[in-house]
Amino acid sequence: MSQAVGIMAAVAAPATWKSHLMEDRDRKKELSMRLREHWRHVGISENVNVQPKTQESNIRIYSESSPSWLTRDDIESMRVMADSQIEGIQEAPSQHGILAVFERNPRAAGAACSQGQCGLIKIPLDMSEVFAFHLDRILGLNRTLPSVSRKFEFIQDGQPCPVILWDSTLSPTDNGTHSSVRLNWRDYQQLLKQKCWVNGKVPKAEWGCTEIHHHEWSKMALFDFLLQVYSRLDRNCCGFKPRREDSCVQKRLKLKCNDQDSIDLTHIIQRRHDPRHLVLIDNMAFFDRSEDNLDFKILQGITEFPELAVSVLKSQHLREKLLQSLFLDKVYWESQGGRQGIEKLIDVVERRAKILLTYINAHGAKVIPMNE
């Protein structure tokens, strides 16, 4: 059996990819472990071509320049992940998913994954990662990793999957919290009061500060509220009524909300060379959560919000920018049902934006520049 055929057989057997795709997101780990066992069995090498080059780019830019909120590096990374030939598959260390190694200049030196030539392939259920990336850039937060949607010949049923740029500079994480900094809710609320590192002021040891700048928490909270990403700040679902299929219910974590102070934050990630700033990964959004069941615990303790992001939310141009930005990703656009489907997602975010702006005014929160 050839390596490429071996990959296809591994992913397709003993059951289809679609049958592995369980509604409970927390079972991604089980899926990933099964696939990894198959790949180990067939002995995947790093030098096997599993997909031909595409003739037309899946990143559509018809004007002279790309949207201003996307950098040249963003566009280059998107094109690599959307269009480049795949030379091999690797296991992704410490994350749920697999790494695709993309074709690169043969004269390039060093490991491909340390040079932005690898992407983390996640399951179709995580497609909101793509929306999250574009929203992050439009709001001027710039804390997520470039993400695209792509179809793979070696995944049965041809469902598009999100691919997230692999960043080899992320700090090592704790296996329990998947964080490079370990914080529980009590410690997090305490350090919010100290405004760590604002104006370059070195915090005192007794303040309980981490290396993370105070403004990072405000940016993360705003982003997570709009998308209702609860895994970082409210893993036990204490701030809203979860569904029976939510992981916090399946794991009986909701029952531990009586002792919220001791609940750990998760997915709090920095880069090794840049410990002041967060990198927002695992951005699983929930567009189907009703407005009377939003998780306001995400905003608890936040008294300041980033001026640039708030100005975008107030500008009435969020929809236009999201449509323009998401249109670039042809596969994602089509997978969501074209403009009609995308508009429905934007409807949800716009309504939440109005609620957030009302919250900011009602609580007297400050809106300040956060371009430290």
The mean pLDDT value for 111-131 works out to 90
Q: Confidence class of residue 116 from pLDDT cuts 50, 70 and 90? A: confident
Residue 318 pLDDT more than 90?
yes
Query: In this predicted model, what pLDDT tens digit does every residue of 169-202 receive, in sequence order?
Result: 999 888 789 999 999 999 999 999 999 999 999 9
Least Cα distance to 80 among 127, 120, 129, 116 occurs for 116
The angle subtended at Cα 199 by Cα 362 and Cα 261, nearest 5°, is: 55
Q: Give the global pTM.
A: 0.86
| Mean pLDDT calculated for residue range 310-334 | 98
Mean pLDDT, the chain, integer: 86
Residue spans of alpha helices (H) in 233-306: 247-250
Q: Which of 36-50, 254-268, 300-314 is predicted with the least confidence, judged by mean pLDDT?
A: 36-50
**CB neighbour class for 103 (10 Å; exposed up to 12, middle 13-18, buried from 19):** middle
Higher-confidence residue: 51 or 116?
A: 116
For residues 102, 106, 107 and 109, what is the CA-based torsion angle, rounded to 10 degrees? 50
pLDDT band at 94 (very low <50, low <70, confident <90, very high): low
Query: How much of the chain exceeds pLDDT 70, in percent?
Result: 82
- Does the pLDDT of residue 83 top 50, yes or no? yes
Short-list 315, 326, 371, CA closest to 127: 326
Asked whether the predicted pLDDT for residue 5 surpasses 80, the reply is no
Segment among 6-10, 58-62, 130-134, 272-276 with least mean pLDDT? 6-10
Q: Is the pLDDT of residue 11 over 80?
A: no
pLDDT of residue 18: 37
The answer, yes or no, to whether residue 4 has pLDDT greater than 70, is no
| Alpha-carbon gap, residue 146 to 318, rounded angstroms | 19
Residues with Cβ < 8 Å from 204, sequence gap 6 or more?
A: none
